[in-house]
Structure 1
Amino acid sequence: MTFNSHQSFYIMKKSYLYLSGIIFLVSITLSSCKKFDYYQINPNTPTQADPSLELANIEQTAFATITTEASLATRQLVYAQSSSTTQNYGWQRADFSYKNIAQVVKMEQEAARIGKPNYKYLGKFFRSYYIVGMTLTFGDVPYAQAMQALNNNFSDGALRPVYDAQEDIYLQVLNDLKLASDSLSASGGTINNDIIYNGDITQWKKAINTFSLRVLMSLSKKEANTKLNIKQRFNDIVSNPSKYPLLTSNDDNAKLTYYDIVGNRYPYNNNNSLKTDYYLDDSFVKMLKDLKDPRLFVYATQTPNSVTAGLSPKDFNAYTGLIGSAPVADNVQKMTTGNASAINRRYAYDAVNEPSVAIGYPELQFILAEAVARGWITGDINKFYTGGIRSAMLFSRYKGDLAYTLDDIETYLKQPAVTLQSGTLLPQVIMQRYINTFMNTGWQSFYEQRRTGFPTFETAGAGILNGGKIPKRWMYPTAELNNNGVNVDNAIKRQYPGGDDINGVMWLLQ
């Protein structure tokens, strides 16, 4: 797929529909059924289904986190075919994801109908997962009244829902995640058709609790908020592993595994654009070279010039990137002279490649390390930090020893440039969390940089848009302005004095 100036963040959300449109269609459908149900029931077409039939589709959609767009926005990749609004920070609007939440609600309703509550509690998690993604994207979004509509309440308020304050959304999410973890149990029924954990309740608890810690850490600027009680909630999870188990290794990762089967291959397998148009960003290459990080060898290919010169693919001098903020012509010139490193061939040529990770063990270790650095918990920060790096490198060790060995990992960890220093704890932890996200985990690296300021994304080139600034959010969908104008206008005025602007600073970041 080729991305150009007219394609950006929206591509990763291409299946999302606007809330008002979904509610309108559902309301018409259901009201018609109420009037004419006697004549419209087809005994050969089931209108009810086991919740397990919804689960696999929900998992496939929710955990598909691999997108070049996030890598462009976070200065890991450069698109060299034409100007990219994502890469140059000129994006505008994104879409809501209520279509996906509606599918979760359907699973919950079917679970209630047949008495299988475990699907209901998984639904609590998936609802939270989606709404967190939405509020990170926009700021305030409809939630409480929107859920009423999705649960078949078609009052005027539900059809044109008010926008919930971000603080209230997070409070509901944290409570729902706790309820989900507390309530999943063997007595809640077998979880079938589960392509993530094969119905293992303990594994789901680990993923939900780890996601809870991610959500809590995303609220670090609000640690003094007594309504959310962030540090206490964080401690409650970490200090009680028997009640709130966490991921213990890469084997526990919440991930989609790919297979060399039609419909199940790596999402960029045989993608012509990825074969020719994507290069590593020079700032990312320099970061890895400065750290002598062997992941560079599995993320990138050496430059054509270095191949001609006879350099080894394990020679750091064999790699150079393009400038993400530069004009396209400048990057094309550097690329055509053979002095730029393309993305590693495995991303386009290996049908299996690596899993799509939604919630991973390395990220958990970096979250715990940051929590120690912030004084939220006690513990050995170096153990969490090195544990995160080691597991991240094991995950990326493409096809065993092909790129780097286990000894290479230990050598890397012993370098002075990698060892934690007392004055730079947070930047080092966040930087390693950032490196771990290459071509995985969706937009987490962007959100983390937005929250912490690390690493610095360069914006000095002449190709940059938005006045050289990195956007803080996306503007609300056009359909909301057309169909729910009063409520979206109130939400904009409440949050953003300058209007519905990509540079508006949401409550979460204040």
Structure 2
Amino acid sequence: MKKVNLIQILIAACFLFTACTDNFEEINSNPNAPEGVSANLLTSTVTSEITRTLTEEGYSDGNTITQLMAKNNFPGFAQFDWGDQGMWNFFYGILPEINDILEISRTEETQNSTYEGIALTLRALCFANLTDLYGNVPYTQALSGKTEGIFTPVYDAQEDIYDGLLQDLADADVALAKNQSIRGTTGDVIYDGNPSKWRKLANSLRLRYLLRISKRRDVSQQMQAIISAGNYINNNADNAILTYSGTSNTDSWPQSTGRIGGFDEKSLCITALGYFTKFNDPRLDIWFDRNSNGDWVGMPIGLNQDNARAFDDANSPSRLDVNLFYYSATDAEAFIMKNSEVQFILAEAAERGFISGNPETFYNAGVRASLSYWGVSEADIAAYLAQPAVAYDGSLELLLTQKTIALWNVDYQGWLNYRRTGLPALKPGPDTLNGDLYPVRFLYPSSEQTLNTANYKAAVAAMGGDNINTKGWWETGTRY
């Protein structure tokens, strides 16, 4: 598997970021290249790597940018000292493998609509992340190096990318609706090749992305059609989750294989402590430990290295739960999307009048799904929802605060919701390197400036600059 992945990465890098060498055709005809790899082997790679990477990003930086967690060492990310964050190379490195699954699924000898639907869903997920994190990115020509010899792809407008990825998810729904079984080992570490569950994920992602562009477009009809059809994640059994086996370092919760010093560099953020205290939230005690004095202490976001260490020494902020997030190789899971997020999407859509239904019902279902996932009993969930501070009152700030908490470890989705709505309100820390602004994107990789110069410059001109404060198409709408 490692050999296959290395070849994939080398080929992807050649396709996307370089002018390639004169012997490219010889490289491309390598008998060990992806053309000879089965769909189940590729599916094992992409489902595993995407799920793990998204969750690790959420744990490390997604929780930080939404101020659920703070870093008491190496706090540069929370000061907004940003570059491309490595996500560009990850997604463009794995997209060729996804495209190979798609090609295999459509050939006469190996035609399989379930693999086709899985590949379309994952391709949409990757491109959605790319455009949400960077803005305009290569899309139509992004994977054309192998077929058309295009190694310096143009950047597409975010609006056009969204049209394409939403179409991919609609096509995935059609393919997966055929309910074609996969013989033998599927390679799928999320749903084991179950087409009905993949169909629910594809449609749930459609709901996520339709809501994301709802400041720009009327998405009511499309969202309502998905809800009416009923094929979306609607209970925790349908969550898109990878459960670690713990049998090796590569199949264990990543923090459990690292040093305790690295684990201890992350603490409870004071912003999150405010949420948890207001809501009397049981997730505080699940995700974090009290400090040595038996107190809950939160740390401000955005302190520089010296101030972060000084605060840590003086106040001993609460660390992440050591049993859940360090000693256990299996208790923490990786995930792409969960029922709680879907229910909060529906709650907001209903509150804004995009779909029919009672927003309070969806809100309660979202809270219940999150707490239940983390092991809170039904009796305690009922008591939690009955609290005045938690009971739904039509407030989007309450709804989106609860959604942000539920998006713990779910890549950068909480930050993306904040960028669209401004809720819950977030402010930069005292040692920010970005003034009074909360950033809205990552920078393009420096390699693009040298290896794809003309298209890079055109993209920067179209977007209005390559800086972390340049807003994307879906953020600048005025529908609400």
| Counterpart in the other structure of 2:45 | 57
Shift of 1:46: 9.5
**C-alpha distance after superposition, 1:170-207 (max 9, x if no partner):** 11111111011112255745162222112211111011
8 Å contact kept, 2:180–2:195: no
Using structure 1 for the length normalisation, give the TM-score: 0.84
1:353 paired to 2:341 = no
1:87 matched to 2:78? The reply is yes
| CA 1:246–1:494: 2 relative to 1, 3 Å | same
1:97-116 equivalence runs, <5 A = 97-113=91-107, 114-116=109-111
Taking only aligned residues, the RMSD between alpha carbons, in angstroms, comes to 2.4
Give, in angstroms, the shift of residue 249 of structure 1.
1.1
Q: CA deviation at 1:326?
A: 3.0
Contact 2:238–2:339 (CA under 8 A) maintained in structure 1: yes
Given that 1:184 and 1:201 are in contact with CA atoms closer than 8 Å, whether structure 2 keeps it comes out as yes
Between the two structures, name the one with larger relative contact order (CA 8 Å, sep ≥ 6): 2
Of residues 187-196 and 92-101 in structure 1, the stretch that sits farther from structure 2 once superposed is: 187-196
Deviations 1:239-292 (A, max 9, x none): 122xxx111211110111112211211111143234322111111111100111
Are 1:141 and 2:118 counterparts?
no
Q: Secondary structure at the match of 1:417?
A: coil
Q: Percent identity?
A: 25
**Deviation, structure 1 residue 41:** 6.2
Report SS of the residue matched to 1:279.
Answer: strand
Bigger Rg, structure 1 or 2: 1
Say whether residues 1:283 and 2:247 are aligned partners. no
Q: Residue 366 of structure 1 contacts residue 388 of structure 1 at CA under 8 Å; is this kept in 2?
A: yes
CA shift digits 1:200-238 (9 cap, x unpaired): 1111101111111011111121124xxxxx222111111
Shift, 1:418, TM fit: 0.5
Quick check: 356-365 or 179-188, which moved more? 179-188
Q: Do structure 1's residue 491 and structure 2's residue 472 form an aligned pair?
A: no
Distance 1:417 1:187 in 2: 44
Confirm or deny that 1:384 pairs with 2:353.
Answer: no
Matched-pair contact (CA < 8 Å) for 2:19–2:152: no
**What does the per-residue CA deviation read over 1:52-85, in whole Å, with 9 as the maximum and x for residues that have no partner?**
1100101011112233122122211111123x22
Aligned to 1:11: none
More divergent stretch after superposition (191-200 vs 357-366)? 191-200
Spell out the pairing of 1:236-385 with structure 2 (5 A cutoff): 236-241=225-230, 245-262=231-248, 263-271=250-258, 272-306=260-294, 318-337=295-314, 339-345=316-322, 346-385=324-363
Distance 2:360 2:199 in 1: 26
Q: How far does residue 501 in structure 1 lie from its aligned partner after superposition?
A: 1.2
Indicate conservation of the 8 Å contact 2:12/2:92, yes or no: yes
Q: State the alpha-carbon separation in 2 of the partners of residues 358 and 343 from structure 1.
A: 21
Residue 467 (structure 2) pairs with residue 501 (structure 1)? yes
Letter in 2 for 1:410: A
CA distance in 1, matches of 2:211, 2:34: 44
Q: Secondary structure at the match of 1:183?
A: helix
Query: Is the contact made by 1:20 and 1:160 (CA closer than 8 Å) also made in structure 2?
Result: no
**TM-score normalised by the chain length of structure 2:** 0.89
Q: Structure 1: which amino acid aligns with 2:130?
A: M
2: distance between equivalents of 1:194 and 1:405?
Answer: 31
Q: Distance in 1 between matches of 2:176 and 2:429?
A: 50
Amino acid of the structure 1 residue aligned with 2:65: A
Q: Which runs of 5 or more residues in structure 1 are unaligned?
A: 1-14, 225-229, 307-317, 398-403
- Cα distance in 1 for partners of 2:412, 2:379 equals 31
**Alpha-carbon distance, 1:487 to partner:** 1.1
Tell me the distance in 2 between the aligned counterparts of 1:441 and 1:473: 17
1:131-160: per-residue Cα shift (whole Å, max 9, x none)?
Answer: 00000011111111223335x211xxx222
TM-aligned CA deviation for residue 325 of structure 1? 2.5
What SS does structure 1 have at the residue aligned with 2:36?
coil
Deviations 1:307-355 (A, max 9, x none): xxxxxxxxxxx31111112344444334334542111112111111222
Q: Aligned residue for 1:121?
A: 117
Please state if 1:31 is matched with 2:8.
no
Whole-Å separation in 1 of the counterparts to 2:201 and 2:445: 31
Bigger shift: 468-477 or 20-29?
Answer: 20-29
For 1:202 and 1:30, how far apart are their aligned partners in 2?
A: 40
Structure 2: state its 5+ residue gaps. Answer: 1-7
Q: Distance in 1 between matches of 2:445 and 2:212?
A: 24
Cα 1:296–1:17, aligned 2, differ >3 Å: closer, same or farther?
farther
Contact 1:460 1:468 in 2 (8 A): no
State the alpha-carbon separation in 2 of the partners of residues 41 and 19 from structure 1.
16
1:6 paired residue number: none
Deviation at 1:457, TM superposition (A): 1.9
For the structure 1 residues 326 and 452, does the alpha-carbon distance in structure 2 shift closer, same or farther, using more than 3 Å as the test? same
